């Protein structure tokens, strides 16, 4: 079985951003709770953005960097989402078409709340590891869209974006451990989407389930790799990140159970090993099944890339399912280049005022899955300037006709 890892990664951070304090003030939320989120801004979905456009726009830079021959070696496309747009047809079908991937590329979609993309990743890693031909690649993308739970303390953390990961046997960013995964699952009603535009969240139950899964998945991993030590064996940790404060609390809870560290030592360990992974989340927000991918890219981008480092990665999805795995970050220039691209994209976002954000929140999720016919309203004041200000090529949703979603490329077509 050949080694498999990340050859390239790309993050679509959206085109618009709002300050989290702006959301607190606009909704009349208690400002004293702001600091606990450990967030500064969040990306905001625009009317022409949906799970398909997010996935395609995340992967576009990766695909453009490949030769036609290299592109045709992508033999597997796996989409993780909790924002499926059809009960039968997958988002992957649209993504394969608009990225121009080979007709011999296998495609599928995974649903398990925020764990979906990591489950897709595990499957894709194993596919590449046993592929009969060297040089086989797989593309894994999260594809979600938020539906703001307006007026709640959940809304300020709901971000927007997608992460694309290209897997292969010539990794430049990181290497995975095929088969070395810890899992933990049980049925719980902490969060669900009974309708496409409705998110139901019990934050207290979700936090408790998250904490139980983090401990359970790590202990399962350690049982499969006897002698594993949470402090000794990982230079970095990254986790599913609904918001940074939740990750900080989960890290503290786990180390209290597994170590004899003092509070000050745990706080320092968070700064040393975990904080690099939440920096992008602090600026983008919770991107659902892609949040652990975002945490991983943040850890890679904001830590020493001159030496190999072991990363412990934890993915959690409500309902619930979870996984803990080990990843080796590779030395080299790829991580610094990734950081430069993401930082530039973050700085290009257009900042929204409260009134524009509030209107976008009202329009979120429209047109909804199951809509037969619809057009997309792009006339929203400041938002209309985004297309002119952002020169990067991007796929946009133009409407739905007889249930068929219609898209076009703005800017230069890949």
From the candidates 82, 172, 199, 215, give the one annotated as an active-site residue. Answer: 82
Who contacts 84 (Cβ-Cβ below 8 Å, separation ≥6)?
A: 51, 90, 91, 109, 111, 369
pLDDT bin (cut points 50, 70, 90) of residue 203 is: confident
pLDDT bin (cut points 50, 70, 90) of residue 223 is: very high
Q: Which domain CATH number covers 321?
A: 3.40.47.10
Query: What is the model's pLDDT at position 179?
Result: 78
Percent of the chain with pLDDT over 70: 96
Strand pairing category for 41-44 and 191-195: unpaired
Of 130-134, 372-376, 410-414, the range with the lowest mean pLDDT is 410-414
From the candidates 183, 240, 275, 320, give the one annotated as an active-site residue. Answer: 240
CA–CA gap between residue 377 and residue 366 (Å, rounded): 9
From the candidates 49, 98, 114, 251, give the one annotated as an active-site residue. Answer: 114
pLDDT in tens, 210-222: 999 999 999 999 9
Q: What are the residues facing 11 on neighbouring strands?
A: 163
Active site residue 82: yes
Distances (CA, A) of 77 to 57, 70, 136, 221, 327: 15, 14, 12, 27, 21
Give the residue with greater pLDDT, 197 vs 380. Answer: 197
- Is residue 384 over pLDDT 80? no
Query: What is the model's pLDDT at position 381?
Result: 54
The chain-wide mean pLDDT, for the chain, equals 94
pLDDT in tens, 51-98: 999 999 999 999 999 999 999 999 999 999 999 999 999 999 999 999
Domain count along the chain: 1
Active site residue 98: no
pLDDT bin (cut points 50, 70, 90) of residue 380 is: low
pLDDT bin (cut points 50, 70, 90) of residue 389 is: low
Query: What is the model's pLDDT at position 61?
Result: 97
Query: What is the model's pLDDT at position 195?
Result: 85
Percent of the chain with pLDDT over 90: 87
- When pLDDT is averaged across residues 308-315 and rounded to a whole number, the result is 98
Distances (CA, A) of 248 to 36, 106, 239, 264: 10, 38, 10, 13
CA–CA gap between residue 136 and residue 347 (Å, rounded): 35
Cβ atoms of 407 and 398 closer than 8 Å: yes
Query: What is the model's pLDDT at position 197?
Result: 77
The pTM of the full predicted model, rounded to 2 decimals, is 0.96
Q: Which domain holds residue 65?
A: 5-410
Residues 22, 27, 28, 32: is their CA dihedral positive or negative? negative
Active site residue 114: yes
Longest Cα separation, the chain: 61
Query: What is the model's pLDDT at position 4?
Result: 96
Cβ atoms of 77 and 104 closer than 8 Å: no
């Amino acid at each position: 079985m050949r080694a498999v890892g990340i050859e390239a990664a790309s993050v679509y951070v959206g085109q618009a951003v709002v300050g989290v304090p702006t959301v607190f003030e606009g909704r009349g939320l208690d400002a004293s709770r702001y600091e606990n989120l450990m967030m500064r801004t969040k990306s905001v979905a625009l009317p022409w953005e949906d799970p398909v456009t997010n996935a395609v726009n995340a992967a576009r830079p990766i695909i453009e960097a490949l030769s036609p021959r290299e592109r045709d070696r992508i033999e597997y496309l796996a989409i993780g989402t909790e924002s499926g747009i059809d009960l039968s047809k997958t988002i992957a079908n649209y993504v394969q078409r608009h990225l121009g991937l080979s007709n011999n590329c296998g495609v599928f979609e995974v649903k398990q709340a925020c764990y979906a993309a990591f489950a897709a990743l595990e499957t894709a890693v194993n596919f590449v590891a046993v592929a009969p031909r060297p040089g086989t690649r797989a593309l894994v993308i999260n594809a979600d869209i938020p539906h703001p739970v307006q007026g709640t303390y959940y809304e300020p953390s709901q971000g927007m974006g997608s992460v694309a990961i290209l897997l292969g046997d010539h990794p430049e960013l990181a290497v995975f451990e095929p088969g070395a995964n810890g899992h933990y699952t049980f049925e719980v009603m902490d969060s669900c989407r009974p309708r496409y535009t409705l998110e139901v969240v019990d934050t207290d139950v979700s936090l408790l389930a998250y904490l139980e899964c983090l401990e359970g998945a790590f202990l399962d991993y350690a049982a499969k790799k006897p002698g594993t030590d949470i402090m000794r064996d990982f230079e970095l940790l990254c986790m599913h990140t609904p918001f940074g404060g939740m990750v900080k609390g989960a890290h503290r809870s786990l180390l209290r159970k597994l170590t004899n560290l003092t509070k000050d030592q745990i706080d320092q360990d968070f700064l040393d090993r975990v904080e690099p992974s939440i920096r992008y989340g602090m600026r983008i927000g919770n991107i659902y099944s892609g949040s652990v991918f975002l945490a991983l890219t943040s850890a890679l981008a904001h830590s020493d890339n001159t030496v190999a480092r072991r990363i412990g990665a934890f993915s959690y999805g409500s309902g619930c399912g979870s996984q803990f795995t080990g990843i080796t970050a590779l030395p080299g220039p790829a991580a610094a280049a990734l950081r430069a691209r993401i930082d530039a994209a973050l700085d290009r976002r257009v900042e929204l005022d409260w009134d524009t954000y509030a209107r976008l929140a009202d329009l979120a999720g429209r047109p909804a899955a199951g809509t037969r016919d619809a057009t997309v309203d792009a006339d929203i004041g400041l938002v209309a300037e985004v297309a002119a200000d952002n020169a990067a090529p991007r796929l946009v949703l133009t409407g739905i006709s007889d249930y068929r979603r219609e898209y076009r490329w703005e800017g230069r077509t890949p």
